[in-house]
């Protein structure tokens, strides 16, 4: 069988399953993080809005601490259309959505927030538009004529508008809301781009649109973004950094990793910190140069550790006193080695008659690459916590198996 006939056969098979109601016409992916009081209501509302359609919903939860997982597990036991993907030791809206979509089975997938801010009653109309317009994506837009953003503050409205303008520049398109978190996409279109995604932060739709070559055909439908009923937004100030990192990654990410660019920028800032501490201690307060310089280096290193922990490694941030202290110590140790390498290389090159600035620059590059690589292994890829996460996963699997066995024995006895 050649590829074309195989594809047609697969398509026929899919159609026949769909016709018999065995394959949902629509899959819905919903990322959750601490949404205890919203998920039940969301499933109820979907059940009403999608009456007459076959559908499935995949919740992707990043180990919420508020009991959301238990509720989702109950829901999935009571209703086979509801499924749960429980991720441990992971964070991130974009990657949650991607993994959720990969776990679905129907030809069309909708992405929806779990906090009831997106108008689920719009889904049938979106599906209708996807089919009628024969496009790849239908976006629910807050900025089309009749759409709206509910009770947003002026500040958030402004940031959102600036970000949208920036996205338009990169997208070369007239989309009114490429940052929407509410959209529907054909699975075939998703599969074409999934390997090129940056998977950074929040803006999964923008990531998809920017990664698609050739461009996807997109339609928009207006809606009003509702206010949150319960819980709170997880979007903080680092979402802005996430966003810029995504745009930068799409522009130059294939040449140089964005995390490295950020790490190097923080290093540059550290240099300024070092020089100012040195100047004020030595020049200003008359502290001996060697002592002032050592103090400056320690302050700069500590500064760099905290800024990197806050921004560069925001997705795997170390939290709590001991993890952070351990992080600071390993960071300092790595940087000490990096400085030695930096100086060593520079001296060797200088002795080989390279000009002073070239020798210095080579040393800096060497030190930066070492610091970046080694801290990403020793400081932020906390091997212990990864092991703990996989141990948790294993314990969960073993317990589930035991529970299942008990259930079977019980059923047999009955
Ligand atoms: N699994 C997982 N992991 N889910 C997450 C995470 C995470 O790290 N962070 C947030 N979520 C879930 C929330 O539980 C919620 O269901 C949804 O993602 C959106 O998060 P909110 O914190 O409610 O975001 P928002 O309302 O401030 O932002 C919305 O508007 C943006 C446009 O301005 C979202 O729709 C964004 O996707 C959208 O880009
Ligand atoms: Mn929200």
71 compared with 159, residue with greater pLDDT: 71
Q: Is the pLDDT confidence value at 1 over 80? A: no
Beta bridge partners of 110: 28, 184
Cα radius of gyration (the chain): 26
pLDDT at 386 over 50: no
Q: Ligand 1: which of 116, 182, 202 to mutate, most ligand atoms within 8 Å of CB? A: 202
**pLDDT at residue 384, as a whole number:** 46
Residue 96: CB within 6 Å of ligand 1? yes
Residue 210, C-beta contacts closer than 8 angstroms, at least 6 positions apart:
170, 171, 246, 250
Asked if the model's pLDDT at residue 389 lies above 60, the reply is no
Question: Mean pLDDT, to the nearest integer, of 245-273?
Answer: 90
Q: What is the CA(414)–ligand 2 centre distance, in A?
A: 47
Average pLDDT over residues 231-240: 80
- Give mean pLDDT, residues 266-283: 95
Domain boundaries, the chain: 6-232, 258-389
Q: If we measure between CA atoms, which residue out of 374, 380, 265, 384 comes closest to residue 317?
A: 380
Residue 329 Cα to ligand 2 midpoint, Å, equals 38
Ligand 1 atom index nearest CA of 32: 14
- Is the Cβ atom of 86 under 6 angstroms away from ligand 1? no
Q: Is the CB of 164 under 6 A from ligand 1?
A: no
Q: How many CB atoms lie within 10 A of CB 115?
A: 25
The fourth-level CATH superfamily of domain 6-232 is Spore Coat Polysaccharide Biosynthesis Protein SpsA; Chain A (3.90.550.10)
Q: What is the pLDDT of residues 288-347, one digit of tens each?
A: 999 999 999 999 999 999 999 998 998 788 989 999 999 999 999 999 999 999 989 999
Q: What is the pLDDT of residue 185?
A: 97
- Residue 224's closest CA among 131, 85, 119? 119
What pLDDT digit, counting tens, does each position of 212-232 carry?
989 999 999 999 988 888 888
Q: Which residue has the tokens 């200088």?
A: 350
Residue from 29, 93, 208 to probe ligand 1 pocket by mutation (most atoms less than 8 Å from CB): 93
Rounded average pLDDT over 362-385: 84
- Ligand 1 pocket: which of 234, 242, 316 to mutate (most atoms <8 Å of CB)? 234
Q: Is ligand 1 within 6 A of the CB of residue 234? A: yes
The strand pairing partners of 140, in sequence order, are 221
| Residue 383's pLDDT band (cuts 50, 70, 90) | very low
Going by C-beta distance under 8 Å and a sequence separation of 6 or more, which residues neighbour residue 356?
Answer: 350
Average of per-residue pLDDT values in the chain: 87
What is the mean predicted confidence (pLDDT) over 104-110? 95
Pair of tokens at residue 230: 């319960």
Res. 392: pLDDT tops 60: no
Contact 71, 43 (CB under 8 A): no
Residue closest via CA to ligand 1's atom 24 equals: 233
| Cis peptide preceding 214, ω within 30 of 0 | yes
Question: So what's the pLDDT on residue 13?
Answer: 61
What is the pLDDT averaged over residues 264-270?
95
* Strand locations in 33-165 (E): 55-61, 82-86, 108-111, 137-141
The proportion of the chain whose per-residue pLDDT surpasses 70, expressed as a percent, equals 86
Q: Which atom of ligand 1 is nearest to the CA of 87?
A: 1
């Amino acid at each position: 069988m050649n590829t074309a006939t195989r594809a047609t056969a697969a398509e026929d098979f899919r159609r026949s399953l769909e016709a018999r109601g065995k394959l949902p016409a629509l899959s819905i992916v919903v990322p959750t993080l601490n949404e205890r009081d919203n998920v039940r209501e969301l499933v109820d509302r979907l059940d009403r809005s999608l009456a007459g359609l076959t559908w499935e919903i995949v919740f992707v939860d990043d180990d919420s601490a508020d009991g959301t997982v238990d509720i989702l597990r109950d829901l999935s036991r009571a209703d086979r259309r509801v499924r749960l993907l429980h991720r441990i030791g992971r964070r991130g809206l974009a990657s949650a959505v991607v993994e959720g979509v990969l776990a679905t089975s129907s030809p069309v997938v909708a992405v929806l927030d779990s906090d009831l801010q997106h108008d689920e009653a719009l889904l049938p109309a979106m599906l209708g538009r996807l089919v009628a317009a024969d496009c790849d994506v239908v976006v629910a837009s807050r900025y089309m004529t009749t759409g709206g953003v509910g009770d947003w503050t002026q500040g958030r409205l402004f940031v959102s508008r600036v970000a949208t303008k920036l996205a338009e520049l990169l997208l070369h398109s007239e989309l009114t809301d490429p940052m929407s978190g509410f959209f529907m996409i054909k699975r075939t279109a998703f599969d074409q781009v999934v390997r090129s995604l940056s998977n950074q932060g929040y803006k999964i739709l923008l990531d998809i649109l920017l990664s698609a070559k050739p461009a996807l055909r997109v339609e928009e439908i207006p809606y009003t973004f509702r206010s949150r009923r319960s819980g709170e937004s997880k979007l903080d100030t680092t979402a802005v950094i996430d966003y810029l990192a995504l745009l930068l990654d799409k522009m130059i990410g294939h040449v140089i990793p964005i995390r490295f660019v950020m790490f190097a920028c923080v290093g540059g800032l550290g240099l300024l910190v070092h020089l100012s501490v040195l100047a004020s201690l030595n020049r200003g307060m008359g502290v001996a140069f060697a002592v002032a310089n050592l103090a400056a280096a320690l302050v700069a290193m500590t500064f760099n550790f905290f800024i990197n922990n806050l921004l560069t490694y925001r997705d795997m941030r170390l939290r709590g006193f001991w993890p952070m202290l351990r992080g600071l110590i390993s960071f300092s140790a790595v940087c000490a080695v990096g400085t030695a390498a930096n100086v060593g290389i520079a001296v060797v090159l200088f002795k080989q008659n390279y000009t002073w600035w070239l020798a210095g620059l080579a040393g800096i590059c060497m030190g930066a690459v070492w610091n970046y690589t080694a801290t990403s292994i020793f400081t932020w890829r906390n091997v212990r916590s990864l092991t703990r996460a996989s141990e948790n996963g294993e314990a969960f699997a073993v317990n589930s198996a035991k529970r299942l066995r008990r259930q079977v024995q019980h059923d047999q006895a009955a």
